[in-house]
């Protein structure tokens, strides 16, 4: 079988939203294929397939805006918890 999963995480450097980075990573069989980084504001690919996927998603303005907004919704909400 195959294993496909995604991980969404926040990297806190302070409690200020501008200093928090949201990272969404997509994995396939334990290998990171591509990721979104809110500090870069785009998707980055790590495999041949991942590079194609990253370009596709980065060229969709709605997708980039969605994950950029997730930083505020998901990370800022959890500052006190983490």
DSSP string, 43-58: EEESSHHHHHHHHHHH
CA-based max dimension of the chain: 42
Q: What own/partner pairs with CB < 8 Å and gap ≥ 24 does 46-49 have?
A: none
* Confidence class for position 2, pLDDT limits 50, 70, 90: confident
Rounded to the nearest angstrom, the gap between the alpha carbon of residue 80 and the centroid of all alpha carbons in its chain is 21
Q: Average the pLDDT over 32-57 and give the result.
A: 96
Count of domains observed in the chain: 1
Q: Which residue range forms the structural domain that includes residue 17?
A: 4-80
Q: What is the CATH number of the domain that holds 9?
A: 3.10.320.10
pTM for the full predicted model: 0.84
Query: Angle, to 10 degrees, between the axis of helix 61-70 and the axis of helix 48-58?
Result: 90
């Amino acid at each position: 079988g195959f294993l496909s999963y995604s991980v969404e995480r926040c990297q806190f450097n302070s409690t200020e939203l501008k200093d928090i980075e949201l990272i969404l990573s997509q994995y396939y069989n334990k290998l990171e294929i591509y990721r979104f980084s809110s500090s870069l504001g785009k998707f980055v690919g790590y495999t041949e397939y991942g590079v194609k996927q990253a370009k596709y998603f980065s060229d969709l303005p709605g997708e980039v805006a969605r994950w950029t907004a997730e930083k505020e919704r998901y990370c800022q909400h959890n500052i006190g918890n983490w």
